[in-house]
Each structure stands twice: as C-alpha cells, then as structure tokens.
Chains A and B, each alone.
Chain A
C-alpha cells in the first residue's frame, strides 16, 4: 500500500511542468528584505549621510568595514555636521551580509540593497571603496565636497527627533 502511495506522488509530479529557473536569463524575484551589496546614501540635497562614526565597523562581526574620518569645513563639506568619512571601504569577501551595520548606523547612511552578483577574479577587487558604494547624486544637485554657507549644516543628524 505504501508503495502505491509513493508512486502516486511521483506520478502526480510527472505531469507538472519543469521547475527550473533559467538563471541568468530568468531571475527569481528577491524578497524585500534581501541583503545584498551595500550602498551609502545621500540626502536629497546631495550631502552624504555618512558621518564617519565607525559604528558600522564596530558592529561588524567580520571586520569587513574600514572607516577613517576627517573634519568637514564650510569650504569643503561632504556631510552635515563636523565629521565625514574620508575613507569608507567594505571588503565584500569578508562581509557576511548580516545587516548589523545598517542597524548600527545612526544616520541610516548604509543600506544593504539587492545587488548580489558579487564574484571576483582577484581578492583585491572585492574591496569596495567609497566611490563604488556611494549612491549617485540626485539630478541637478551639486556634488561633494562642496562649499556651503557657514552656520547652516551644524548638526550631524539634521532631522533628529526625540528618540521615543
């Protein structure tokens, strides 16, 4: 009897079409919360969100992130507030895409996006520098570094609200 039941399953599936996904021509949709390659975000005005605080590096369980900070000036401004990331590097081969950096970031500057095609012929290519990670500028906005009016961008976290 069990034999019959087993074969019944087999025959049921024989009639179904193939399940194979024809990757790379065809792709399965990714889940909303899929964690792929990182992106460094910008504000709408084009300033970088990253303030170089290194908290992502501290949170990273794999030590994949390297941040070096420097001081903003009104002549050469990268981000609001006083501090920006002079160097921001992620080693994609170290990164385990856990998203802790995203959680640690106080300015929501680093976000894991959906790009997953990360294969390299050379280990050195796996180190993504800031210019590879940062989002393109919104249309019609001046890039960074830029000159700004003194006294405008004094807060590191511009729209900070009471953390309820």
Chain B
C-alpha cells in the first residue's frame, strides 16, 4: 500500500489506500457495506442502491485553509443531506461515512423490500441458495415482511437458455447488470444486453450463436442471485453440501487456480466426484476468472472410458495384467534395450511425474533422450534469463506498461491472459500484437504489426535495432552483466528498420514496463527457438528484466510445459528421438500418434512401446503396454505455469480403482532397476527431491506452496456479497522461481539470432491452436461439444477463388503423405498463400509445423 488517506468510518479513523473504492476500503477494515451491483473487478454503476451510507467531509476554513474544529478540538464534518451510494465514491482525505445509523438501516431495509417485490421465494430449489448474496443480505439487513401484495408478484419464464451453457431465470434477476457489464467491460464481447425498461426489463443475448464468449461461466459466479445457472451444474448439489478442494486447471499454460466443488455421488458408486469447477482467487494468476474450458472441461476424470488395469498386447490382442507383472515387463525391457530407450513426456504431467520419469531415464542409461510432447516450442534458456520478474501482476498493468503479443492467437491459446491483457489495454497499457493474421486482440491493440509467416523473428530484431539506434539500451546492465553483446551489436548494426516496425518499437520502448508473450504460430521449432532468443535479447538489452511486470512469457501448448522444460525435458530431444528412433519408447500421457504422422510411423517401427495414459488414445492403441494413470483431480501434485509459478493441486476426487499416479508408476519401475532406490511414499517427498536436485526449485516444498496471504480486493470473505463461496483461496498462491536476471551474481548472455525467413512460395499450411478442440482431456466433456467446430481450414479469398473453393466446400488438403478432409472457410482470416488448419479437431494427425500443401475440392 503505497499512498494512504485517512477516512473516518462510524467515527473511527482508518488508513486506506489512496484511490480505493469506498466499499473496498471499508471492507478492508472489517466494515461491511452491502452491495449487489458493485463488483470490485468492474466499474461502479450505483444501480442497486444497496450501499447507501451517510457521507460527510471535513469543512475547511477558507481563510486559514485548515479544517474547522469544534469545541472538543475535533474537525467539523459536514454531512450531506441525502444518503449516497458508497460504491461510486473514491476515498479522499477526511472523508467520513456512517454505515449503521437509523437512516442507513432504514434505507437498506427499504431497498431490499423493493428488490424483493418480484423475486420468487424459490430458494429451496435455487442453485444459489446457500451462497446467495441476496439471501444473506436479506437475512442481515432486510425486512421481515413485505408491504407489497403477494399476488402482484410478476411470474416470468424460469428456464430461458442463454446459449447451451447458461440458463437464465427471469424471475430471479434483480437487474444489477453484473453479467452484462462483465461481458462488456471485462471480456469486451458484446453478447448480453438489457432489453425493455422498468418492470419488463430482461437480460437477452444478442449474439449468434447465443452467449458466444469463452468466459460465459463467470457470469454465474458473479450473479448475486440465482438468475444465471450453468447447464453443467444445474441442480447438481446444494452449496453447503459441497466441499471445495483447491486445484489447478490442467488445460493451458496460464495455470488458473480453481476450486473443485466435490460431493459424494450415488451414480458414481458413492465416490467423491467433482460437481462443478469454480475459480479460486489468485490475483497474480487468474484473479477470479476462469474460461469455460477450465470450468466445464473436467469431465474426463469421471469418464467411463478411463483405463483401469495395465494391459499388455499379446499377438495383437490386449491382455489385462496386474501391476507387478507390468512393472516386470517394463524393467526387463528397459534392461534389455538399455541405450536404445527413448522417453517422451506429455504436456500435462505434474512436476512429480516428470521428475520420476527423468529419474527412470537416468537410471536406464546415462544419456537417454527425454523428449517433450508436443515438440513445437522451446526456449527454456531465454525464459531462464529474461522471464517475467517475480511478482508480475498483469491485472495491475496500466499506461506505464507495454505488452507485446507475438505469433500467438492469445484468446485461443491462453484465454485468461487474453482477458487480462485486454483489460490492461482498457486501462491504458500499450498493447502491440504481431501476427501474420488478424486475431481478436487486434481491436484492443495500440499497434498491430502484420508480417508474413516466418518473419516473426525479424520483427523483434528490428525493434532491437531501433532500440540500439535510439539509445534505448540499458547501458549499466549491458556493460555490467551481459555477455555476447559485441557479436549481437555487430549483427544488428546497419539493419534497416521498416517504418511499421520502428513505429511499433517507439511505442513499446517508450514505457517503463515491457512484457512479451511469445507463441509459435507459423513457426518451425528452430524458428521458435530463435524467436525466444530474439525476445530475450531485446528485453535484456533494454533492461526490461529482473523487475516485476517485465520480461518474457512463452505461450506453451500445455499446462505444465514449463515444468517439463525446467526438469530437463526438451523438444529438441524429441526431434532427435524421431530422427534416430530408439527401439523402445516410454511415453507419459502424450498422444503423438494422433497429432503427428511422422511420430506415428516411428512408433510403429519401435520394438516395444510403453504408454502411461488415462484413455485408450491412438498412441496407446499402437503401444505394447499401457499403464492406467490418475487424472489431475485424483491425486496431489504441482504444475508450473508459463510465468514459472509452481502451484499445488490437491486430491479432489476418489481415485479410479486400478489406476496409479504417474510418478508412482515410474518410481516403481525405477526401483527395480540396478541402483534403484525405494519409491517415495508421497508427492510431497518427490517435491523434496526436486528441490534438492533442481536449482530452480531449490527451497520449495509443499508447505510453502500452500501458503496463502490476504488478497485485495477481498472477494472470498464471509459476507459473500460478491457471490459464490469457492473464491476463497485455501490452497496456496504458489511460488515463482527467479530468473537469472533477478539473481545478482548471474551473467546474462545475448547472441545474434538468425532471422532468415523461409520463402513460402506455394500454398502453405499453417497449423493453429484452438481452445475448444478434441483433445483427449477435453473431449469427454460433452457439454462443450457444441462449441467444438467440425474440422475446417481457413482460406484466403484470393486463394479460394484460384482453387475454385467457396465457403463450406469439402476439401482434401494434401501435405506430404497426409490427406486431410476438412470443410473450407473463406472468411479473410488467412493471409494470401496460406491455409490455416486448426490442430486436434479430429483424431487424425495434421502437420505440426508449416508445410507445403495442395488442396483438392471434393466433388459432391
């Protein structure tokens, strides 16, 4: 709390942060001012009038400029004749409020009586009942009975679908506009609106398809009544019957903190199951929002298709075996193949799993390759040097900050960051988007740079050139701690900067803070590595490192890619494994066969393939031994998000019988190898091993990871007037590991990067990532199926005309040996000469990197 002002609440003086909202400031010191429409994450509107207080200010003597004093030496306060809404007030020096006088109490009572005129008394069946702000505040401040005639109550539709995910109960709505404001202000999707006026006022969706936003579930959380409910949870359980288990979303690199609301369930055989997923407050990660993928994408862990016994393929048929035999099978094979074993880890294994897998690999042979899947992104070195500073807080970025998003369709790849960057832009942060095609963030960007696919690195290089030329380098840092500057300078010297890039550079470098988000769209692995280095170069040279709100973030394609990289897994190792295929593969929770035709061919040639998996994926089908493992909800562990924050998740659901944690499986296999030690008995002890052996994780342990501090604004408190009882964070805020730049005694290295862009002459296929896809962890959530598009490819109008394709045509795209059947979309997304093909919209592989392709229309 930097600057404070003194205000008086009910005659007591308090220091509160300057510029804070009066409601938040009062709550900070334990005075509840009840609200319905106000929400600390949104602008106040003063619609519900619930927060009425008596407001006064100190009278100042015009001549002396000092406050008037009464006979007791206290400043004289001039009270305003009418009550004021507290939510629309910003605290100022000398402000005085009274929150519990008879006048205020009566006003609250009256307001509640008005709000309840037509509110139905169906709390017993309402999903919000039990965690409902209206219920709570009525009990605390409301009238015991109403003067209005009961028979005059309006009866409105109770089951209005706003899209297939959210249902509206018109009777319950108290017209606070939190949901519409959330969509307008926070998300920027114009999908909900008020219709009609007065008593007829109602919420309608104005988009097609209805309620078309990736954040729709959040409206049900912030709704202060039960007017908005999700299709997934509707009538699933009463809030007081749910127990909240802190967890981490396993779907994307943001690492949103979630609460899994669990309850015993008859249909699942009396197991404890997840009934709903709610956001958990972590201001530095996801604030209090989560996307619909995280909210509704948890069903994989209850799927009936989960594997429950280890299975061995004998003569082409699966035979169920017990764990002991399975371990023996693997150990004997590992000893047999020795040097010729390759390891491959998937994107959502926990750090503990990865560590045990790595230990197993090291025990098998000294230099077994440990690869990472998907092998599309790399750049640990760049992140280690110039990653975002510890304590980075996207939700606080304002006009002093610049954010560059390069080669990433942010909304699809990391929705919550998109949301935060969009809000930062609204607050005045200078957002720059560099991509070869338009993305949704463009409309909020101060500056949009369009390049040709493959030229992303050049953009960053040009900005570095500009920085050098315009004296924007941080000389103390460069001279004091940076190696390789001379070579880089020589490389940058004399480069011409196109006007578009210099404008962008001027915009970016003119600010105090700079965060770069780097993706991999349209880049090969090698180019992506160069992009990461170029970003690190730029950040180091300009001194945008080692401070909060400065540095590089990679938009990894999985929830725990950062953790995997930290623990020694790499995409380069995967490439080398594919180039020199080993005889035996150990694959952890990855599905290369479904994603990459080349990997499929290589695995087909292998002599023995072991896969640990939750489902019978195409990879598992092609394997010789499958080992069933537990989902994120059924065990403990840690994920490291792309901002390097190590976060704990806890066991929410009764573990599936027969399956084990992946780390346990690897540890058991490893213990039977020569030199193997006894498996650890808990994930916490594996973390202790990691902390001992991995410098980045030094000093981390489960206790510290579970540490929680009070966060501001306080939305999870006892009063519940921001809705939901799952916001409260009891699971820990996580710990970010520090970059080398932040450690004084580390030197930083920059090096010239090759910006050579391949010339794409023929039609080129660019794989892109979509949020809603048929990923093995997301597909079982049937509630989301309507949002997953059928396989399609985006064509440029010019290309489409040349090929004779119109929107909606079925086409066959041939790239190398692959034949991909998709429907064509011609909507101006794709740049000329490129076809955009979303990955994982079917179980058939598509190229993982840009590839030449030819397109054939399928005649009906």
Touch test A–B (CB under 8 Å): yes
A156 at the interface (CB under 8 A from B): yes
Please give me the residue from chain B that is nearest to A154 by CB atom: B158
Partner of B124, one of A66, A68, A71, A106: A106
Chain A nearest CB from B160 CB (Å) reads 12
Please give me the residue from chain B that is nearest to A58 by CB atom: B240
Complex Cα spacing A52 to B240, Å: 14
Chain B nearest CB from A66 CB (Å) reads 7
Please give me the residue from chain B that is nearest to A162 by CB atom: B150
Please give me the residue from chain A that is nearest to B241 by CB atom: A54
Contact A68 B238 (CB under 8 A): no
Please give me the residue from chain A that is nearest to B266 by CB atom: A87
A101 at the interface (CB under 8 A from B): no
What string of 1s and 0s marks CB contacts (under 8 Å) between A49-67 and chain B?
A: 0011111011000000010
Contact A156 B125 (CB under 8 A): yes
Complex Cα spacing A162 to B117, Å: 12
Q: Which A residues from 34 to 54 make CB contacts under 8 A with B?
A: 51-54
A96 at the interface (CB under 8 A from B): no
Partner of B125, one of A58, A81, A163: A81
Q: What chain B residues lie within 8 Å of A55 (beta carbons)?
A: 124
Number of interface residues of B (CB under 8 A): 21
Chain B nearest CB from A94 CB (Å) reads 15
Contact A70 B121 (CB under 8 A): no
Contact A82 B124 (CB under 8 A): no
A157 at the interface (CB under 8 A from B): yes
Q: Which B residues from 467 to 496 make CB contacts under 8 A with A?
A: none
Complex Cα spacing A162 to B125, Å: 18
> Known contacts A68-B265, A69-B235, A87-B266: does B158 contact A51 (CB below 8 Å)?
no
A141 at the interface (CB under 8 A from B): no
**Which of B158, B234, B237, B238 has most chain A Cβ within 10 Å?**
B238
> Known contacts A69-B235, A71-B234, A154-B158: does B150 contact A161 (CB below 8 Å)?
yes
Q: Which A residues from 112 to 157 make CB contacts under 8 A with B?
A: 154, 156-157
Tell me how many residue pairs across A and B have CB atoms closer than 8 Å.
53
A160 at the interface (CB under 8 A from B): yes
Give the interface size bracket for A toward B. Answer: 20 to 34
Complex Cα spacing A53 to B265, Å: 16
Chain B nearest CB from A89 CB (Å) reads 8
Please give me the residue from chain A that is nearest to B129 by CB atom: A53
What string of 1s and 0s marks CB contacts (under 8 Å) between A75-106 and chain B?
A: 00000011100010000000000000000001
Contact A66 B235 (CB under 8 A): no
Complex Cα spacing A29 to B267, Å: 42
Contact B158 A83 (CB under 8 A): no
Q: What chain B residues lie within 8 Å of A162 (beta carbons)?
A: 150-151
**Which of A82, A83, A161, A164 has most chain B Cβ within 10 Å?**
A82
Contact A82 B121 (CB under 8 A): no
Complex Cα spacing A52 to B235, Å: 9
Please give me the residue from chain B that is nearest to A72 by CB atom: B235
What string of 1s and 0s marks CB contacts (under 8 Å) between A12-46 and chain B?
A: 00000000000000000000000000000000000
Please give me the residue from chain A that is nearest to B236 by CB atom: A69
Contact A54 B158 (CB under 8 A): no
Complex Cα spacing A8 to B717, Å: 72
Q: What chain B residues lie within 8 Å of A106 (beta carbons)?
A: 124
Contact B240 A51 (CB under 8 A): no
Contact B240 A163 (CB under 8 A): no
Chain A nearest CB from B515 CB (Å) reads 45
B159 at the interface (CB under 8 A from A): yes
What string of 1s and 0s marks CB contacts (under 8 Å) between B788-799 and chain A?
A: 000000000000
> Known contacts A57-B241, A69-B235: does B125 contact A160 (CB below 8 Å)?
no
Main DSSP-derived SS at the A contact region: loop
Contact B122 A156 (CB under 8 A): yes
Contact B238 A58 (CB under 8 A): yes
Chain B nearest CB from A57 CB (Å) reads 7
Contact B266 A66 (CB under 8 A): yes
> Known contacts A68-B266, A82-B158: does B234 contact A53 (CB below 8 Å)?
no
Chain A nearest CB from B169 CB (Å) reads 9
Q: What chain A residues lie within 8 Å of B265 (beta carbons)?
A: 68
Complex Cα spacing A164 to B265, Å: 38
Chain B nearest CB from A148 CB (Å) reads 14
Q: What chain B residues lie within 8 Å of A51 (beta carbons)?
A: 124-125
Q: What chain A residues lie within 8 Å of B238 (beta carbons)?
A: 53-54, 58
Q: What chain B residues lie within 8 Å of A57 (beta carbons)?
A: 241
Q: Which B residues from 216 to 249 make CB contacts under 8 A with A?
A: 234-238, 240-241
Please give me the residue from chain A that is nearest to B146 by CB atom: A162
What string of 1s and 0s marks CB contacts (under 8 Å) between B121-160 and chain A?
A: 1101100010000000000000001000011000100110
Complex Cα spacing A18 to B281, Å: 73
Please give me the residue from chain A that is nearest to B235 by CB atom: A69
Please give me the residue from chain A that is nearest to B231 by CB atom: A71
Contact B150 A156 (CB under 8 A): no
Q: Which B residues from 75 to 129 make CB contacts under 8 A with A?
A: 121-122, 124-125, 129
Complex Cα spacing A54 to B237, Å: 8
Chain B nearest CB from A93 CB (Å) reads 17
Please give me the residue from chain B that is nearest to A83 by CB atom: B125
Contact A71 B121 (CB under 8 A): no
Complex Cα spacing A160 to B552, Å: 61
Contact A82 B235 (CB under 8 A): yes
Contact B235 A70 (CB under 8 A): yes
> Known contacts A69-B235, A82-B235, A162-B150: does B124 contact A53 (CB below 8 Å)?
yes
Contact A163 B121 (CB under 8 A): yes
Please give me the residue from chain A that is nearest to B264 by CB atom: A66
**Which of A52, A87, A156 has most chain B Cβ within 10 Å?**
A156
Complex Cα spacing A68 to B237, Å: 7
Complex Cα spacing A107 to B235, Å: 17
Complex Cα spacing A58 to B122, Å: 17
Q: What chain B residues lie within 8 Å of A154 (beta carbons)?
A: 155, 158
Chain A nearest CB from B225 CB (Å) reads 15
Complex Cα spacing A87 to B236, Å: 12
> Known contacts A58-B240, A68-B266, A154-B158: does B125 contact A53 (CB below 8 Å)?
yes
What string of 1s and 0s marks CB contacts (under 8 Å) between B331-349 and chain A?
A: 0000000000000000000
Q: What chain A residues lie within 8 Å of B121 (beta carbons)?
A: 157, 160, 163
Chain B nearest CB from A62 CB (Å) reads 16
Complex Cα spacing A160 to B151, Å: 10
Q: What chain A residues lie within 8 Å of B241 (beta carbons)?
A: 54, 57-58
Complex Cα spacing A107 to B266, Å: 24
Q: What chain A residues lie within 8 Å of B124 (beta carbons)?
A: 51, 53, 55, 106-107, 156-157
Q: What chain A residues lie within 8 Å of B125 (beta carbons)?
A: 51-53, 69, 81-83, 156
Complex Cα spacing A116 to B638, Å: 54
Chain A nearest CB from B302 CB (Å) reads 15
> Known contacts A58-B240, A81-B125, A106-B124: does B158 contact A71 (CB below 8 Å)?
no
What string of 1s and 0s marks CB contacts (under 8 Å) between B255-271 and chain A?
A: 00000000001110000
Complex Cα spacing A71 to B167, Å: 12
Q: What chain B residues lie within 8 Å of A87 (beta carbons)?
A: 266
Complex Cα spacing A83 to B236, Å: 10
Q: What chain B residues lie within 8 Å of A70 (beta carbons)?
A: 235
19 pairs, CB–CB < 8 Å, chain A vs chain B: A51-B125, A52-B125, A54-B238, A55-B124, A66-B266, A68-B237, A68-B267, A69-B125, A69-B237, A71-B235, A82-B158, A82-B159, A87-B266, A106-B124, A156-B125, A157-B122, A160-B121, A162-B151, A163-B121
> Which residues from chain A sit less than 8 Å from chain B, CB to CB?
51-55, 57-58, 66, 68-71, 81-83, 87, 106-107, 154, 156-157, 160-164
Besides the contacts A68-B265, A71-B235, what 5 more A-B pairs have beta carbons closer than 8 Å?
A82-B158, A107-B124, A154-B158, A156-B125, A161-B150
> Which residues from chain B sit less than 8 Å from chain A, CB to CB?
121-122, 124-125, 129, 145, 150-151, 155, 158-159, 234-238, 240-241, 265-267
For the complex of A and B, list the 3 residue pairs with the smallest distance between their C-beta atoms, beginning with the closest.
A162-B150, A53-B124, A83-B125
